[in-house]
Amino acid sequence: MTFQGILNSQEFFCGGSPCRIPLEFSSTLVFRAVDDASNSSREIIATVTVIQQADGFRVTIDDISEFTFFSNSCSAVWGVGDEQGVTWDDFVQSPHELNTDKTLHLLASKLLLFGLADASSCPAGGLGPGLDWPTACGLEAAAPAMIAWQNQFDATIWFASRDYGIPPKILKSLIEIESQFWPQNSRFYLDEFGLGQINALGVDILLRRDNAFYQSVCREVFSDCSAPYAVLSESQQTILRGAAVQAFDASCADCPLGFDLDKAKSSVVLIARLLKANCEQVQSILDDAATRSRDPKTPTATPTTVTATPTAIGASVSASEYEDLWRFTLVSYHSGLSCFQEAVLAVREEGKSLNWDNLASELLCRSGVRYANGFMDVVKSFDLNLYQADETEAELAVAQFSPTRTLMPTPTLFVSTARIVVQAFIDRDGDGSLDAGEGIDSLTVQVSVAGIEQAEGRTQEGIVTFDMSGFMPGSVVTVNLPGLYRSESFALPAEGEVIVSFQFDQPALPTNLP
């Protein structure tokens, strides 16, 4: 029996016993078993986490379901689906299918500058005179590290896409375009932060549309958060925007690279939620414009007071313009609400159809037009840049530029970084704790958040671990053993490790055998 699969985009084959696979602190593992007759088992997708402890390392494997259903949240809001069968909005079934091998010059220059790629054989260390651009020699030397770096976020992107309904290729393309996967401020004069280069204008939409995010930020600043963000005073909104943008900022003066890589990864969830908020806001503005076109006397509505209604989209945008809706959303993300709303109203006043060509001609923020067009070019070519490892790259190491993980993950300001460790064991010695040989293997464990989000895993040596990064602290979490009528509920903490134990007593032997 042999095992074959992919670990962080690297192919491996293992026929020994035990099978030894080099792991990183956070890895994605896709594998299957193959016998001598070439019969293959089903493919298993797992995330592997390695935590350093005082007495060594603890390795946790979390099983991912074999097939994951996906609901496109933006399509649902718009009431418009993909009728052309495009692939750029597909939901791939495992994170490694998002692996790319794109040549990213900014990323390469950062890797060379910080010593994360070795270009010692190149003149000037492979960097140009300004140290902000790689030479041809430097680019070639940085290629392995550049591929590894751009793919280390794929598992986080995949989970965020699954949980918030944003197509993963769109989400990864956005991070590539904004930051080339380097989570520092690339344009200091604009005060943009993190992997998504988010500024105060961007988080304003998230605060308006995502009440859970608004509440989490507000409670850190104000004692009374009963009023919605849209009705707060201008000074209060300014304070909240300043606090909210910190959730995306991974800057860290004490960190080796100048940023906290764990916090950068956790912000991917917020970027997905921000894209979803822009989808909803675009729908609200289109609905408002459709109402105004039916009643010219209707005053201009404030976009923050409009509630999205999917049924109204037919009055504003043709069902054949699904791609146009994504372009509208990208303009909103890049240039803000006002520019998009003014262009929509201008198109309506001229009696034209609300499609991309007509809207683009009315947009005063011309950079928004270039951004949306360029973005669609990138995402449409996504599948042309998929990464396929070969045997010569089997030794590619990502862990060299991953900061050493401490026992407790670095907490973020507004989302949880907690982990749930579920133990299931037969207490044979009656000491109330899980000992060697007492764990129950292959026991299905389900975790739900607020009765909606759900993850499933199976115990190995009596333990299964769930990473709750990205969920809101205080959310009610229920851990359930289906079929055994055992469950535990608790409030999700902001950080740390929650241990949930299911103890089963050693069954008593009958005194009289039949």
Tens digits of per-residue pLDDT, 286-327?
988 877 654 444 443 333 333 333 333 333 444 338 999 999
Please tell me the total count of domains within the chain: 2
CA–CA separation, 205 and 233 (whole Å): 16
Which residue range forms the structural domain that includes residue 489? 416-508
Higher model confidence: residue 184 or residue 391?
Answer: 184
Rg (CA), the chain: 25
> Which pLDDT belongs to residue 111?
94
Cβ-based neighbour number of residue 416 at 10 Å: 26
> Which pLDDT belongs to residue 470?
67
Q: Is 45 contained in some domain? A: yes
Higher model confidence: residue 137 or residue 404?
Answer: 137
Provide the percentage of residues in the chain whose pLDDT is more than 70: 72
Which of 33, 67, 101 is the endpoint of a domain? 67
Q: Is 389 contained in some domain? A: no
Q: What is the dihedral of CA 462, 269, 23, 49, to 10 degrees?
A: -20
Is the confidence at residue 413, as pLDDT, over 60?
no
Per-residue pLDDT, averaged over 11-20, amounts to 60
Which of 16, 50, 67 is the endpoint of a domain? 67
List, as one string, the DSSP characters of 98-160. G-B----HHHHHHHHHTTSS--TTSGGGGB-TTSSSB-HHHHHHHHHHHHHHHHTTHHHHHHH
Exposed/middle/buried for 421, CB within 10 Å: 0-12, 13-18, 19+?
middle
> Which pLDDT belongs to residue 428?
79
Q: Is 369 contained in some domain? A: no
> Which pLDDT belongs to residue 321?
85
234-245 and 200-209 helices, crossing angle to 10°: 100
Cis before 18? omega within 30: yes
Q: What is the CATH number of the domain that holds 470?
A: 2.60.40.10
Which of 335, 305, 439, 323 minimizes the C-alpha distance to 377?
Answer: 323
Which of 34, 49, 67 is the endpoint of a domain? 67
Q: Is 154 contained in some domain? A: no
Residue 373 has what DSSP assignment? Answer: H
Which of 476, 316, 495 minimizes the C-alpha distance to 416?
Answer: 495
Tokens representing residue 56 in the block: 């060594």
Chain mean pLDDT for the chain: 79
3-state secondary structure of 386: strand
Q: Is 53 contained in some domain? A: yes
> Which pLDDT belongs to residue 121?
93
CA–CA separation, 305 and 310 (whole Å): 16
Per-residue pLDDT, averaged over 466-474, amounts to 76
> Which pLDDT belongs to residue 87?
92
Tokens representing residue 494 in the block: 């902001």
pLDDT band at 109 (very low <50, low <70, confident <90, very high): very high
